[in-house]
Structure 1
Amino acid sequence: MEGEKIQAYTGPAGGWGSASSLAEILTREQIPASGAAMLMKQNKPDGYMCVSCAWAKPAKPLAFEYCENGAKATAWEQTRKRTTPEFFAEHSVTELLSWPDYDLEEQGRLTHPMRYDAGTDRYVPVDWAEAFAEIGAELKALDPKSVVFYASGRASLETSYMYALLARMYGNNNLPDSSNMCHESTSVALPQSIGVPVGTVRLEDFETTDLILFFGQNVGSNAPRMLHPLQHARRRGVPIITFNPLRERGLERFTNPQSPVEMLTGASTQISTQYHQVKAGGDLAALTGMCKAVLAADRDAAQAGRPRVLDLAFIEEHTHGLKDFVRFCEAQDWAVLESRSGLKREALEAAAAVYMRAQNVIGIYGMGLTQHRKGTETVQMLVNLLLLRGHIGRPGAGICPVRGHSNVQGQRTVGISEKPELVPLDRLKEQYGFEPPRDKGLNTVEACTGILKGDVRAFIGLGGNFVRAVPETRLMEEAWRSLRLSVQVSTKLNRAHLVRGEIAYILPCLGRLEIDRQASGPQAVSIEDSCAAFHGSRGVSEPVSPHVRSEPWIVAGIAKATLPPNPKLDWDAWVGDYARVRDAIEATYPDVFTDFNARMFEPGGFHKPLAARDRRWETKTGKANFIVPAGLEADPDMPRSDRSVLDLITLRSNDQFNTTVYGYDDRFRGVKGTRQILLMNADDLARLGLADGDIVDVATDADDGVDRRVRGLRVVRYEIPAGNCGGYYPEMNVLVPLWHHDEQAKTPAAKAIPVRVTPATAPPPA
C-alpha cells in the first residue's frame, strides 16, 4: 500500500499522538466543529454513552470524558458521508465483495432500507412495510429452530429485551451474541467460582486498591479511559504488575491529554511496575506459579511461627476446595511452569512477593485469558489467586473482566442468551401469556456449525459484522450463501451485507448519538458498563436520514409481521414510549431494575446487585470455590508437531474497534499504511531463515483436511515471545478452525493458533 512504513514508536499512550489522530478522523469524516462539540456530551450523565468500549462511566466525569478510540467511534457514526440508493445502483454486490472492509464502511451512513435484487446483483430501495411483510412471511414459513437472532454488543437494554422476547415468542433460544466470541469464558468461569457471571469491581475500588494485576488486555487501544484510574493509582504509589505477550505502550507509559502541564512538558506516567511477557496461553502456568509461590511462603511462615500469608479466616468461612488446589500447585514442577509460561521462576516469585504484601488487590483481564481452549480454567485460576488472600468481596479488591462492546454485558442481563436457565422464563410466561422454549439455543460456534451443515436457514443480525467476526472465514462465507434469508440491522455497510442469503435485507437504524423521536417525544435508552452499572443515554444529533428508524422500532416491526397478536403485549405502545419497555424489564427482573425509570440517569449509574461483593456465594457449594484445572496447557488440542510451528495471536490495532477499521495505522506498534503484517521474534526469524521485511504466507497447522491460509504478509521483527507471532483481527480469522474453542464456553481460541510461516508463493489462479 502506498505510504506503508514500519518504524518503532517511542512516544507514550495518549499525548499529542491521540490528539492528532482525533483531529485527523474528525476532518476526514467532515465533522471538525460539530464533532468536537458533540464529544463534550460523551459519557456524561446528561448526554450519550459511548458506542465504543464498555469501560465504567464516573459519577464526576472529566471535562473530556472520552478517549481516542471512543472519539473515533463517535466520528465514525456521525460522519457526513452517506451510502445512498444511488451508491448501490452504481456498484454490484459482486464488485463490492472485492472492496476492503475499510472502504465499505468509509462510504458513510446507510440512508434507506434496501433489498437484494438477484436480477441486477444490486441492492435496491424497499419500503419499510414491504420489507417487514416479506421478512415476516419468510420467518413464518421456516422452522423456528432453523433461525438465528444474533446481537452485537451495541444495542440498548430496551432493544435487547424486545429482541430476546421476539426470538422466544417466535419459538427459539437461538440468541448468540458478541460475548460468545470474546468473554463467554468469564460468564462460565465466574458463576462456578464465585456465583456471579460478571466482575465484582466498581470504579471506586480503584481509589482504595494497593495492587493491580493486569492480564492479556491492551488498555491503550481497547479501553483507553481506564488509563485515568490507572494513572491515579500509580500516583498513589500503587504497583501495577502486567502479564502480556507484547509490550503494549498503554501498559508502559501514559501522557494524559486532559492535563495541560503533561501535554506541554511531555511528562508521562509509568504504568507497569513489573512487565512480564508471558507466552501465548502461558497465563495459566504463570498464575499457577504465583499461587505455588504464595503457598510455599505460607508454609514457611507457619513452620517459623510467623503470621500466615493466607487469609485463613476468609478461607475457612467463605471457600471450598483449598486442599485439592494446594495439592495441584505443589505437584507442579518449576521447570515446567517456566517452560509453559515463558517466564523465569524468579520473575513469578517477584510478582508473588508484591501480591503477598498487598491488602487490596484488583485482578484485571481481557481476551488474552478468555480466548483459549482452557480459557474458563485460566479465568478461574486468577480467581484462585485472589481467593488465597481474601481479595473478593471487600473494597479496593476483586475481579475485573474488561468488556469490549458498549452494552455486551447489559444485553445478557436482559435476556440475550442461548442458555434458558439464565432467563426467568416462568416470569416471561406469566407476563406475556406464552410458553417460552425451554431447550438450549445456539451460541456463536453452534450457529456457525448449523450454517455449515445447512441446518440454519435464516439469520437476523442486530448490528455487527458477523461473517468477519467469526472463525473459519472462508468456509463460513461459502456456506452463508445457502441461507434462505439474511437480515442486517446496521448503521454502515459491511461485508455481512454482501455475503448474503438468497433473500437479503439491509435495515438502516439510528445510532445511539442521534435524537430518537417517537410518539411521546424524544426517547432515551440505557446500557450497562463493565462494572455492572446502568446508565441512561440521550441522543444529541439529528438523524442521518428521514428513512432510518430506531432499533426498537425495527424489532417491533419484525415482531408484528411475524408473531400473532398478543393481548398482553403492545409493540406500538413500547415503541411510542421506551419507558414502558423499562417498566417491562423491571417486571421481569425486579431485583435488578428496581425503580428503573427513576434511576437511569443517576450520576455514575446505578449498580446491579452482586452477591459476591457482599461475600454471599450463589454457587452449588454455597461458597467461593477453588477450582483445579486439568493441567497447564491452555490450548492442548493442537499439539505443536515441531519447532517450526508458531502460536499466532490475533491483535487489534489502535486504529480499529472490533471488526471496524478506522484506518491503516497502528501508531503504538509503529505500523503505518498497512494491516498485512506478521509480528515475529528475532530468534524465530533466524531459525526459519527469514528476515525483517520478507513477505510470507501463514497456514494453520491442523490435520483436518481444511486449507486455512493467509498470503502476502510482511514480516516485522518485534518484541514478542519466541515461538509466538502476531497478526491482525479480523484478517487472521480465516486461520481459526471453528472447532478450536474453549471447551466449556466455546469462545474461539483466537489467542493461540498453531501456524506455519513460509516464504510467500504466488496465489493460485482465480
Structure 2
Amino acid sequence: MAATKGEKPRIKPFKGPAGGWGSVRSLAEILPREHFPAEGMRELARQNKPDGFMCVSCAWSKPASPHPAEFCEEGAKATAWELTKLRTTPEFFLEHDVTSLRGWRDYDLEQHGRLTHPLRYDAAADKYVACSWEEAFDAIAAKLRLMDPKSVVFYSSGRTSLEASYMYGLMARMYGNQNLPDSSNMCHESTSVGLKAAIGEAVGTTQQKDFDDCDAILFFGQNVGSNSPRMLHDLRRARKRGVEIITFNPLRERGLERFTDPQNPIEMATLKETGISTQYHQVKAGGDIAAMMGLAKFLIEWDDAAKAVGDPAVLDHEFIEQHTKDFHLLADKVRATGWDAIEQESGLTRWNLEEAARVYARSKAVLGIYGMGLTQHVKGVENVRMLVNLLLLRGNIGKPGAGPTPVRGHSNVQGQRTVGITEKTELAPVEKLKELYGFDPPTEKGLDTVETCTGIVDGSVRAFVGLGGNFLRAIPDTEKMEAAWPDLDLTVHIATKLNRSHLFSGHEAWLLPCLGRIEQDVQQNGPQAVSMEDSTSCIHGSLGKAEPASPHLLSEPAIVGAIAKRLLPHNPHVDWDSWVADYARIRDAIEATYPEKFKDFNKRLFEPGGFWKGNKAAERIWQTPSGKAEFLPPSALSATGFEDKGGQYRLITLRSNDQFNTTIYGYHDRFRGVKGTRDVLFMNAEDMMAEGVKEGDVIALEAPSPDGRVRRRPGLIATVYNIPRGCLGAYYPECNVLIPIEHHAEESHVPAAKSVPVVIRREG
C-alpha cells in the first residue's frame, strides 16, 4: 500500500510465505487505487498467454501451457500501473513548474497517471507545455543534425520491443555513433562479459524445460519472490520432485524460503506451503567467490583423494579434457587457497560449504541460477566466471537440466542486445548492416552507462535521447549527476509516465508520450504486434488490445521512425514509413540481419512458449578464441574491490516487493515487514549494539570516495534484520546517492551496488 505523506512508518516482521493470500490482498489494494478499468481484468487474463501480451515487468519465460492466471503479484501491479485511468495532462503542467515537481516522491510522480500529449520544456516558465508531434520531431532532428554525433547518447530501457530496439540501434549507427547504453549496463553486463569470455555466449544456456531435468540448483544473489515471482512455480515444481535447492544470499528472502501457490485452491484453502531452499547460506556481501572457491576446493581435493586410491572420480574428467582449457590454473589456485581465508571472506563455515558441496558432488544435472547479487560488484565478472568454473568441473553446461541461468530484470533487456543495442562493435552485426543498408557503420566503441555519466559530468556528452526508462534515477552518484544534467544541450524522453529523469531538463527538452505494450497499436496496415526475448532466449509475440490512454499517443516504432526520417539523409535501402506501417517488415529486416537466430520470424511469432533463438554453448560448441570453455581462477576471494576497515560496512542496495526497478508501486515491503516508508536501514543486531544504535534510531550513511567528496544519505530508520555482520541493506534507488560513478565492475562497468563501502553517522 502506498503511504500518505506524514504517515507513521511501521516495521514488523512478516511471518507468512511468498505468494498466498498476501499476494491476493496486495492486488485487491492496488487495482482500485489505479482506477483499474473493467477491461483490465480481460487483459490480465491475456497476460503471458501465447496469443496475449508479454508482461511489462520481468523477463521470466512464458510457458507453452500457461496457468489460467499466468501473472504474479508484481506483473499484475505492472499491468495496473500501465492501464491506470489516472492521467497527467498538459493542464497539470500549467499548475506545477518543473523545479517544484522535484520535491515529489518517485511514487507520486508516476502515480499521477499516464502522459497524454507531447510536451516541450519552456525554460522561461520552468514548465512543460503542449506541442504538436511535428514540432517536436522537426526540432529534435534539427538540433541533432547540428551536433557532433559522438556527443549524443541514445539510451534505451529494457522494456522496449525488439522492433523498436532494432530501429533505434540502426538510427544511432546511421547517425554516426554506437553510444547505445541500456539497462543491461546497469545490471547484467557482467554476465555478458563473463559468459562470453568463458563459454563463447553472452547469455545463459538453459531453457524453462531444464527445471524438469535438473536434480539440484545452486542459487546465488537473486530475490525471486520480489523480482521474478513466476519463477517460483518452476522452483516449486522442482522441489515437489525432490530437487535440492542450495541458496547463497546475504538476506533471508521469503520467496527463497516458503511459497504458497495462489493458483492452487488446496494450498490456498489449507494455507499449505512449499519449502524452496533445502540449504540457505547467508554469504557476506561480496563473498560469493570465496563460497564458490570453497565448493570447488572440496570437489577438487575429493577428486584428488579418489584418484589416489582408485575410487570413482568426483570431477567429469572426460568433459574437462574434451571441452575445457586451463583446468590446471584453477585447480592449482584452489589447492593453494586456505580454509581460513575462504571462511573469512565468505562468512560461512567449512562445514556449511561441505554440506553444499556434497549435494553438488552427487548431482548429475545442476542449474546455476543467479542475479545481480553476483553481477553488481567490482569483481562481478569474476563472480560469473567462478560460477562457470564450478559448473565446468562436473560438466554442467550443455546437457539437459544444467547450465548457467542468469535471471534478467526488464522484460526485453536481453532481447535488445540480440538486435543490436550495444556499444560494442564485436556484438553488433556491422558488416551485415553495411551490406543491407549501404552505409559504413561506426566501428569505434560507443559509450556505456558509466561512460555516459562521466561524459555528462565532464561535458563531452551534449545530448541524451532516452527510449523509456528513468535513467537519471537508476544511475549512481545521484546528486552529482542531477547537478550536471541541466548543462546538456538537448534531452529527449520517450515515456508513458512522468518520472524524476524528466525534471532535469537540458537547454532544450522534449517529453514524448508513447503507447504502452498492453494497448492497441494500430498503424496504416492495421493492428500491430511486437516481440520480446525472455531470460531463457525464447522469443515471444505480444499483442496489445486495451484502449490507449490518449488518442495523442504514438508507438515507440512510430516515434523512432519519425525522428530517423527527419534526422538522416535519404537512404533507398531503409523505408522508415513502410516499417512503421507494418511491423512485420521490421521483423523481416531483423531476420535478414540475424538469419540464424530469427529464421521464419513472422511465422513463429506466436509459437506457444516462444521460439528458442539457439545457443552454441548449449550444444557444447564453444565460440571462444581457444574453441573450448575456459577456466579462469579468480584474482581475489572478495568481489567488493575494496579493503575492509574498522567502522566501515558493505552496503547492499535492495528492491522491495512493492516496486520494479525504479518504479515504486507503494510503500509496503510486505516480505520485510516494512510499511509506510522506504527510508530504512537493515542492520545486524550485533552491529547495532557495537554502534550504539537502537531500533528506530534515525541515522545517516556516508560514502567517501577517491574524488574527495563525501556522499551522504540521511534520514534512515535503523531496524534489526537477519543480515550478516558487517553488511547493511537499504533501498534502491534512494541510496544510489552513495555510489560513486567510479565504483563499478571491472571490465563490464556495472555499478557495484551490492557492496558499497559506507560508514554510519548518528543524526541530531
TM-score range, shorter chain: over 0.9
Determine if the alignment matches structure 1 residue 406 to structure 2 residue 411.
yes
Corresponding residue for 1:658? 661
Within 5 Å, give how 1:91-102 maps onto structure 2.
Answer: 91-102=96-107
Determine if the alignment matches structure 1 residue 324 to structure 2 residue 329.
yes
Q: Percent identity?
A: 62
Within the candidate set 39, 45, 49, 1:44 is matched to: 49
Corresponding residue for 1:764? none
Corresponding residue for 2:688? 685
Within the candidate set 639, 644, 653, 1:640 is matched to: 644
How far residue 703 of structure 1 moved from its aligned partner, in angstroms, is 4.3
Corresponding residue for 2:491? 486
Within 5 Å, give how 1:465-476 maps onto structure 2.
Answer: 465-476=470-481
Corresponding residue for 1:724? 727
What secondary structure does 1:487 align onto? Answer: strand
- 2:753 is aligned with what amino acid? A
> What residue ranges of structure 2 are gaps of 5+ in the alignment?
1-5
How far residue 4 of structure 1 moved from its aligned partner, in angstroms, is 1.5
The C-alpha deviation readout for 1:447-485, integer Å capped at 9, x for no partner, is 000000000000000000000000111000000010000
Within the candidate set 737, 744, 748, 1:745 is matched to: 748
Determine if the alignment matches structure 1 residue 546 to structure 2 residue 557.
no
The C-alpha deviation readout for 1:117-167, integer Å capped at 9, x for no partner, is 012111000100000010001000100000000001010000000000000
- 2:613 is aligned with what amino acid? K
Determine if the alignment matches structure 1 residue 267 to structure 2 residue 302.
no
Output the CA distance in 2 between the equivalents of 1:263 and 1:583. 46
What secondary structure does 1:40 align onto? Answer: helix
Determine if the alignment matches structure 1 residue 116 to structure 2 residue 134.
no
Corresponding residue for 1:456? 461
How far residue 629 of structure 1 moved from its aligned partner, in angstroms, is 1.3
Output the CA distance in 1 between the equivalents of 2:426 and 2:235. 37
**1:196 touches 1:612 (CA, 8 Å); kept in 2?**
yes
Corresponding residue for 2:370? 365
The C-alpha deviation readout for 1:356-387, integer Å capped at 9, x for no partner, is 01000000000000000100011010010010
The C-alpha deviation readout for 1:620-649, integer Å capped at 9, x for no partner, is 11001111111112122x32331x111000
Output the CA distance in 1 between the equivalents of 2:396 and 2:293. 17
Corresponding residue for 1:715? 718
**1:23 touches 1:32 (CA, 8 Å); kept in 2?**
no
What secondary structure does 1:20 align onto? Answer: helix
**1:645 touches 1:701 (CA, 8 Å); kept in 2?**
no
Within the candidate set 577, 583, 590, 2:588 is matched to: 583
Corresponding residue for 1:734? 737
- 1:756 is aligned with what amino acid? V
Determine if the alignment matches structure 1 residue 561 to structure 2 residue 548.
no
Determine if the alignment matches structure 1 residue 76 to structure 2 residue 96.
no
Q: CA RMSD in A?
A: 0.7
Corresponding residue for 2:539? 534
Output the CA distance in 1 between the equivalents of 2:116 and 2:274. 44
- 2:79 is aligned with what amino acid? T
**2:210 touches 2:400 (CA, 8 Å); kept in 1?**
yes
Q: Which runs of 4+ in 1 moved over 6 A?
A: none
Corresponding residue for 2:3? none
Within 5 Å, give how 1:377-526 maps onto structure 2.
Answer: 377-526=382-531
- 2:689 is aligned with what amino acid? A
Corresponding residue for 2:670? 667
Within the candidate set 701, 705, 714, 1:702 is matched to: 705
Output the CA distance in 1 between the equivalents of 2:348 and 2:443. 47
Output the CA distance in 2 between the equivalents of 1:752 and 1:74. 32
Within 5 Å, give how 1:67-216 maps onto structure 2.
Answer: 67-216=72-221
Within the candidate set 7, 17, 20, 1:15 is matched to: 20
**2:37 touches 2:83 (CA, 8 Å); kept in 1?**
no
How far residue 3 of structure 1 moved from its aligned partner, in angstroms, is 4.0
How far residue 564 of structure 1 moved from its aligned partner, in angstroms, is 1.1
What secondary structure does 1:481 align onto? Answer: helix
What secondary structure does 1:758 align onto? Answer: strand
How far residue 245 of structure 1 moved from its aligned partner, in angstroms, is 0.2
What secondary structure does 2:79 align onto? Answer: helix
Output the CA distance in 1 between the equivalents of 2:12 and 2:384. 35
Output the CA distance in 2 between the equivalents of 1:208 and 1:662. 36
Determine if the alignment matches structure 1 residue 349 to structure 2 residue 354.
yes
**2:324 touches 2:631 (CA, 8 Å); kept in 1?**
yes
TM-score of the two chains, using structure 2 as the length reference: 0.99
How far residue 301 of structure 1 moved from its aligned partner, in angstroms, is 1.1
Determine if the alignment matches structure 1 residue 229 to structure 2 residue 224.
no
What secondary structure does 2:702 align onto? Answer: strand
Compared with structure 1, are the counterparts of its residues 389 and 65 closer, same or farther at alpha carbon in structure 2 (3 Å cutoff)?
same
**1:53 touches 1:70 (CA, 8 Å); kept in 2?**
yes
> What residue ranges of structure 1 are gaps of 5+ in the alignment?
762-766
The C-alpha deviation readout for 1:27-48, integer Å capped at 9, x for no partner, is 1001163322211100001100
What secondary structure does 2:590 align onto? Answer: helix
What secondary structure does 2:735 align onto? Answer: helix
Corresponding residue for 1:649? 652
What secondary structure does 2:230 align onto? Answer: helix
Within 5 Å, give how 1:47-58 maps onto structure 2.
Answer: 47-58=52-63
How far residue 600 of structure 1 moved from its aligned partner, in angstroms, is 1.0
Output the CA distance in 1 between the equivalents of 2:574 and 2:593. 14
- 1:664 is aligned with what amino acid? Y
Output the CA distance in 1 between the equivalents of 2:170 and 2:514. 19
What secondary structure does 2:710 align onto? Answer: coil
Output the CA distance in 2 between the equivalents of 1:635 and 1:253. 30
Output the CA distance in 2 between the equivalents of 1:676 and 1:394. 45
What secondary structure does 2:58 align onto? Answer: coil
Output the CA distance in 1 between the equivalents of 2:225 and 2:719. 21
- 1:308 is aligned with what amino acid? A
**1:39 touches 1:71 (CA, 8 Å); kept in 2?**
yes
Q: Between 427-436 and 698-707, report the one with greater CA deviation.
A: 698-707
Q: How many residues align?
A: 759
- 2:700 is aligned with what amino acid? D
Output the CA distance in 2 between the equivalents of 1:743 and 1:398. 24
Corresponding residue for 1:246? 251
- 1:721 is aligned with what amino acid? P
**1:26 touches 1:35 (CA, 8 Å); kept in 2?**
no
Output the CA distance in 2 between the equivalents of 1:448 and 1:701. 19
- 2:716 is aligned with what amino acid? L
Corresponding residue for 1:218? 223
Output the CA distance in 2 between the equivalents of 1:342 and 1:701. 25
Output the CA distance in 2 between the equivalents of 1:217 and 1:641. 27
- 1:286 is aligned with what amino acid? A
- 1:485 is aligned with what amino acid? L
What secondary structure does 1:167 align onto? Answer: helix
Output the CA distance in 2 between the equivalents of 1:378 and 1:458. 35
Q: Between 480-489 and 25-34, report the one with greater CA deviation.
A: 25-34
**1:646 touches 1:754 (CA, 8 Å); kept in 2?**
yes
Output the CA distance in 1 between the equivalents of 2:762 and 2:189. 36
